[in-house]
Structure 1
Amino acid sequence: MLRLTEIKLPLNHPEEALLLAILTKLAISAEQVLSFSMFKRGYDARNNKDIQLIYTLDVEVKNQEQLLAKFANDQHVKIAPDMTYQFVAQAPANLPSRPVVIGLGPCGLFAALILAQMGFKPIVLERGKAVRERTKDTFGFWRKQPLNPESNVQFGEGGAGTFSDGKLYSQVKDRKHYGRKVLHEFVAAGAPDEIMYVSKPHIGTFKLVNMVEKMRATIIALGGEIRFSTRVEKLELENGQLQGLHLSTGEYLVTKHAILAIGHSARDTFESLYAQGVYIEAKPFSIGFRIEHEQSMIDSCRFGDFAGNPILGAADYKLVHHCHNGRTVYSFCMCPGGTVVAAASEEGRVVTNGMSQYSRHERNANSAIVVGITPEQDFPGHPLAGIALQRSLEELAFKVGGENYHAPAQLIGDFLAGEASSELGDVKPSYTPGITLSDLSKVVPAYVIQAIQEAIPAFDKQIKGFAKKDGLLTGVETRTSSPVCIKRGDDYQSINTKGLYPAGEGAGYAGGIWSAGIDGIRVAEALALDMLASLS
C-alpha cells in the first residue's frame, strides 16, 4: 500500500477528482489502481478566497515496487506504515493479583481497557459517579442546584474531557501509533467514522457520554471491575514499594501495581501523595479567561464566502502572542459553536471551561485566552504552590461574581480600556448559572491583565473583530493543565515509589483526551510487562 501526502484539491471538487489526482501524481492509468482510501483530510484556509482540501491517501496499486523506485526521492510517496495495534502481553490464567487503575478519565479508561483486553482484569477506582448520574449532577449545578464536590465537570466517569469539545488531536509524538488505537476504540464505542480521517476530529459531550458507557461495559465484559464513589485515601508503602490502597469505603485493597490517572483537579490526592513522600514537583501552567464572540464572525473571518460549508463546519482558531514583558498569551481549548461552562469542583470557588456538542451549532465561539506562568517566576517554593495559587484566584472569582457561583465577566472594550462593565452588548453570555459584570483586574494578577490587554489587539490583526468591544471575557480559567508533575522514570513508575504508575494529565504527562488516552496505553503496557516479569 502506498501513502500519498499533500494531495491538494479545491474545496468543492467532484468525487472523481481524487482518483484523477492519484493518476496524475503517480503518472499511471486507472487500471493500475486496485483501490484507495482516505487516511486524512484537512484544509488550508489561509487564503479564504481559495480554500483547498489537503488529502493523505492510501493507494493499492499494481507494480508497487516499480513506483516506489520511481518516486524514491519524493517524500510524498511512501509505503503506508502498519498502524495495527499489537498487544505487548497476555495475562496468564493464574495471575496471582490484579492491577488497579485509579481514575476513570480518558487516561484511566484506556489504561483499564488495554489491561482488560490483555486479560489482566483490572480493578478501577473512580471517586465520582457513573457518567449519566454525573451528568445529572453537573447539569443540575449549572441550573443553580448545589455543587457536588465529588460529581461535577472534573470528577466522575469520563473525566473532565466528557464536558468539553471532545477534541481528538494533539502535538504529542506518537511513533507507535497509539493514537490510532484510541480512535479505533472510540469508533467501536459509537463515535462517527469521520474521526478516523478528518484532520481535527471532535466528538462533543452528548456522544462522549454514550461512548464512555460502552467502553465501561467492554472492560467489565472482559473481567474488569469498576467501583464508583471510591476514593483512594492513602497508599500502603513498604521500603518504597506499593503494597496496597486504603479506600474511602474503609476497605484495604492489596496490590503492588496501580496506575495513578487522577486528572488535574484531584488536589486532595496530590496533597495526600506529597505527605506520604511520593516525589512531586511544581510545573508550569496557565491562567486567564474564557473569551466569547459570535461564531458567525469567526466563520466569516476564517472562511470568507465559504462560511457555512458543511465540510469546513464551524471555524476554529489557534492564536499566540509573545508580549513585551516576556509573557506568552495563547488561545487554548477553542470550542466552536459552544458554551462556557461552570467547572468548579470545590465549594466557594469559580472556574470556567469550554464545551461543544458534536454539531457545534451554538451561537457563540469561545476559547480560553491564557497567560503562561512558571514556578520559578510566579509560585516559587513549595511543590504544591501552584494549587494554592489556583485556589486563591478561584476564590476571588467566586467573591467578585457574587458568591453564588456566578462568574465575573467584562466586555472586551471595557477590559482594554481598564473600565468595569455595566451592560452587555451583542454577544450574549453562554455561562450558567450566570455572570456578574465587573472588573476582571480584581480577579487575577496585574501581569495577566497587562499581557492579555496587549495580546487581544494583536489577535485582532489575525481575526478581524477579535477585539470587538462587545465580545465577552469570563473568569477565571485556571485548570488549563496540572500544576504538578508526579515524576516517573523510563519504566513509567514513580521515581521513588515502585509499583505506582503516574499517568495522564493530572501527573503532568498529557493534555487533552487524545494524548491522555495514548498515555494510558503506554502505562498499561509498562505495568503489564512488569507484572509478568515479577512472576518469572
Structure 2
Amino acid sequence: MIRNIQVRLSLEEAEVENMLEQKIALHLGLPASEFTFKILRKSIDARKPTIYFNYKLAVYMKGETLDKTEYTFDYQDVSKAKAIHIIGFGPAGMWAALRCLELGFKPIVFERGKNVQDRRRDLKAINQDHVVGEDSNYCFGEGGAGTYSDGKLYTRSLKRGDVRRIFESLVHHGAKEDILVDAHPHIGTNKLPKIVQNMRETILKFGGEVHFNTRVTDFNIRDNRLKSIVLQNESEIAVERVILATGHSARDIFELLHKKKVALEAKSYAMGVRVEHPQEIIDSIQYHCSGHRNTLLPAASYSLVEQVKGRGVYSFCMCPGGFIVPAATAPGEVVVNGMSPSKRNNLFANSGIVVEINVDKDIPKYEHFGALKGLEYQKDLERLAFTSGGRTQTAPAQRLTDFVEGRLSTDLNPTSYQPGLKSAPLHSLLPKLIGSRLRTGFKAFGEKMHGYYTAEANIVGVESRTSSPVTIPRTKTLEHVQIKGLFPCGEGGGFAGGIVSAAMDGERCAEAAVVGL
C-alpha cells in the first residue's frame, strides 16, 4: 500500500548522506530495503534560526510500482484538421497551441517577434547599444516575456486549472523534474529557451504552424463577428476562431481594438520601482547567518506586503541571485524587470516593489482616455524614467535610504543592470500616489526584515509592466462579450499573471474555441 508521509530534516541532518531514507525508515519502523519513495513536495522553513527542509513523500512498499507522472500528452496529426488561429506565442499562445494538438485541431500561430535564438541579438542590442526593437525584445518574441525574464513557475492560481499538468508538460519538453516537487519552482532564463524551442518543434511536428516576424495589424469585423485578420505584409487571413494571446505589453492591439470600438475595460494594476540588494544581505536576513550561506541552501528570496493609505505596497517578481533587465518595448521609454539564471548564483537580489493603482479612483486626470486610461498613465511614467535616465536605456536610480529620506544620491551601488544607472531624484520625480507610499512601505519592510533598509541597496525605475492595464472582457464561455469568434486570453486579456496561470488560461481558451467547429 502506498503511504503519503511528511518528514523534515534540519540543515545539519541534510548534510548527512542517506539521512532522508533513514528518517523514512524510522517513521515507518521498517528497514530501508523494504520500501522506495518519491518526493512529492520539498520546501524550506527558515523562520527560526534552526532551518529545516520539509518533505512530503509517497512511500512504496517493496514490489509496488513507482508512479513517475500523472499525465500523458496525446498529440495528434492535425496537418489536415480545422484551424484555430492564435495571435501571440507566449505561454498562453503556446499552451493553447499544444492543447489544440490534443483536441485534434490545427493551431496556426502568428508571433510578432522572433524565435528564441534570434531574439538574443535584439536583447544584446538593448543592453549594449540601447536600441529597442519594437517587435523583438524582453517582452515580445517566442515564449513571451517569461522566456528571457526568469521562468518562475510559482502561482496562486490553483483554482483556474491544473497546475501539475502544466509542470508535467514542461518536463515532457525538457525541464528538470525538480519543478514537480519544489515549493517555489523555477527553470531559469538560461534553460527556458531550449524548452520553448522544444514546444515549438512539437507543434510543427504534429502539423501546426508558427509564423514569426508576423504582426497582426487589423481585424475585419462584420455583424459582430471576427471574419479575418490582416498581417503586417497586408495579407488577409480568413478566420473562424481566434485566440488573442498577445501579452500585457501589446499596446498596439489595445489601441486598435479601442479605435474599432470593441469593448475594453480599464483594469487596476501596480507600478513602482525595482530594488536591488547584495544577495549576501538577503541571505543573512532570511537564513540568520553572517557571510556565505550553507551550500545546501538556495539564494534566499522574500515576499513583502504592506497596506499604505488604502493601497497595497508589495514585492513582485522577486529574483534571488538575479539580474535587472531593460524591458522597454518602444523607443522613448525605460522599463525594468528582473530575471534569474537556473543556478541563481549572481551577486545581487532584486525585486519589484510596487503600489496598487486603482484606475477608477487614483488617476482622474486620465479619465478622458476611457478604457486606456491606465495604459496612458503607465506610458507617462515610462517616459519620465527615460528622460530622467538620460534619454537612453540607462535607468534612473537612487540609494534606497536616500530615496526614503528625500535626497539625491551622490553615488550609486554596483548593479547588475547592464545598460547602467544614473543618479536621479526619484523621491520627487515619481507621482505622489506611488512615491509617498513606496517610502512608507520601504520603512515598514525594514522593520519586518532587519537589514533590508540599507544604503547598500539601489532602487531603479520604473517597474511598470506588472500586469495588463486593460481587460478584454469575455463571457463564461471565454468568448469576447461583443465579438463572436474572438477569445481573449492570458495576461493580455487581463486573465493571468505569470507563466503558469497564462498557460492554464491558454488551455482553457483552446478548449472553448473548438466547441461547435
Provide TM-score, normalisation by structure 1. Answer: 0.89
Q: In 2 relative to 1, CA 81–279 (structure 1 residues): closer, same or farther, beyond 3 Å? A: farther
CA-CA distance at 1:22 after TM superposition: 4.3
Deviations 1:95-134 (A, max 9, x none): 4x31011101111111112212433121000011111111
1:445 to 427, 431, 438: 431
Equivalent in 428, 433, 441 of residue 419 of structure 2: 433
Question: Would the aligned equivalents of 1:130 and 1:157 in 2 still touch at CA under 8 Å?
Answer: yes
Distance 1:128 1:442, change over 3 A: farther
Q: Residues 449 and 5 of structure 1: is their aligned pair in 2 closer, same or farther, counting only changes over 3 Å? A: farther
2:325 corresponds, among 341, 351, 368, to 341
Deviation, 1:181, is 2.2
Give the aligned partner of residue 455 of structure 1. Answer: 441
Q: Deviations over 1:115-166 (max 9, x none)?
A: 1243312100001111111121112210024221111111111111112221
Structure 1 residues 175 and 355, CA, compared in 2 at 3 Å: closer, same or farther? closer
**Aligned residue in 1 for 2:475:** 489
Question: Are positions 1:180 and 2:164 aligned together?
Answer: yes
Q: Counterpart in 1 of 2:104?
A: 119
**1:371 is matched with which residue?**
355
Measured against aligned partners, the alpha-carbon deviations of 1:293-332 in whole angstroms (never above 9, x if no partner) come to: 1001111111124953344210000000112x22221010
The alpha-carbon deviation at position 190 of structure 1 amounts to 2.3
**DSSP 3-state at the match of 2:191:** helix
Which of 331, 342, 345 does residue 361 from structure 1 map onto?
345
Q: Which one of 327, 332, 336 corresponds to residue 311 of structure 2?
A: 327
Task: Give the 3-state SS of the residue equivalent to 1:449 in structure 2.
Answer: helix
The residue identity in structure 2 corresponding to 1:59 is V
Separation of aligned partners in 1, 2:466 and 2:429: 17
1:197 deviates by 1.1
Instruction: Answer whether contact 2:407 2:427 (CA < 8 A) is retained.
Output: no
What is the correspondence of 1:1-400 to structure 2 with a 5 Å cutoff?
A: 2=2, 4=4, 6-11=6-11, 12-13=13-14, 14=16, 16-22=18-24, 29-30=30-31, 34-47=35-48, 49-61=49-61, 83-84=70-71, 95=81, 97-174=82-159, 176-177=161-162, 179-305=163-289, 308-323=293-308, 325-380=309-364, 381=367, 382-400=370-388
CA offset digits 1:352-390 (Å, max 9, x no partner): 111111111111110001111111112353111011001
1:469 and 2:470 are equivalent in the alignment: no
Whether contact under 8 Å (2:78, 2:208) holds in the other structure is no
Match of 2:507 among 518, 521, 532: 521
| Paired amino acid for 2:416 | S
1:3 deviation in Å?
Answer: 5.8
C-alpha distance 264-60 of structure 1, shift in aligned 2 (>3 A): same
Percent identity, aligned pairs only, is: 40
Output the CA distance in 1 between the equivalents of 2:493 and 2:107: 20
Query: Residue 25 of structure 2 contacts residue 32 of structure 2 at CA under 8 Å; is this kept in 1?
Result: no
Secondary structure of the equivalent of 1:481?
coil
Paired with 2:433 and 2:363, the residues of 1 have a C-alpha distance of 14
Preserved CA contact (<8 Å) 2:406 2:428: no
What is the rounded CA distance, in whole Å, between the counterparts of 2:78 and 2:405 in structure 1? 67
CA distance in 2, matches of 1:491, 1:82: 30
Residue type at the aligned position of 1:103: G
| Change over 3 Å in CA distance of 1:459–1:85 after alignment to 2 | farther
Any conservation in 2 of the 1:287–1:372 contact (CA below 8 Å)? yes
**Residue in structure 2 matched with residue 76 of structure 1 by the alignment:** none
Helix, strand or coil at the partner of 1:378? coil
Q: Please give the secondary structure, in 2, of the residue aligned with 1:506.
A: helix
**3-state DSSP of counterpart to 1:465:** coil
Residues 288 and 22 of structure 1, relative CA distance in 2, 3 Å threshold? same
Secondary structure of the residue aligned to 2:146 is helix
Indicate conservation of the 8 Å contact 2:362/2:433, yes or no: no
Amino acid at match of 1:42: S
Contact 2:278 2:349 in 1 (8 A): yes
Give the deviation of 1:405 after TM superposition: 2.0
With over 3 angstroms needed to count, the CA separation of the structure-2 counterparts of 1:495 and 1:417, relative to structure 1, is same
TM-score under structure 2 normalisation?
0.92
Aligned amino acid, residue 375 of structure 1: V
Q: Give the distance between the partners of 2:466 and 2:150, measured in 1 at CA.
A: 14
> What's the offset of the Cα at 1:219?
0.7
* From 393, 401, 415, the counterpart of 2:389: 401
> How far, CA to CA, are the matches of 1:170 and 1:214 in structure 2?
23
Q: Does the aligned pair in 2 maintain the 1:290–1:474 contact within 8 Å?
A: yes
The Cα shift of 1:62 comes to: 8.4
Q: Which stretch shows the higher mean deviation, 249-258 or 233-242?
A: 233-242
- C-alpha distance 34-7 of structure 1, shift in aligned 2 (>3 A): closer
Distance in 1, matches of 2:347 and 2:32, equals 49
Question: Is the alpha carbon distance of 1:309 and 1:489 closer, same or farther for their aligned partners in structure 2, counting shifts above 3 Å?
Answer: farther
Alignment-mate amino acid for residue 410 of structure 1: Q
TM-superposed deviation, 1:493: 1.1
Offset from partner CA, 1:218-248 (integer Å, 9 cap, x none): 1100101111111111222232222221111
Distance 1:421 1:313, change over 3 A: same
Opposite residue 201 of structure 2, the aligned amino acid is A
Q: Which amino acid aligns with 2:444?
A: A
* Aligned residue identity for 1:137: D
Q: Give the AA of the match of 2:388.
A: V
Partners of 1:494 and 1:214 in 2: CA distance: 31
- Unpaired runs of 5+ residues, structure 1, are 65-79
* Aligned amino acid, residue 193 of structure 1: E
- In the alignment, the residues of structure 1 paired with residue 94 and residue 345 of structure 2 have an alpha-carbon distance, to the nearest angstrom, of 29
Equivalent residue pairs, number: 508
In the alignment, the residues of structure 2 paired with residue 204 and residue 92 of structure 1 have an alpha-carbon distance, to the nearest angstrom, of 32
Query: Which 5+ residue runs of structure 2 have no aligned equivalent?
Result: none
- Change in 2 beyond 3 A, CA 1:519/1:420: same
Offset of residue 92 of structure 1: 8.2
RMSD over equivalenced CA pairs, Å: 2.4
Determine if contact 1:342/1:350 at 8 Å carries over to the other structure: yes
Contact 1:278 1:494 in 2 (8 A): no
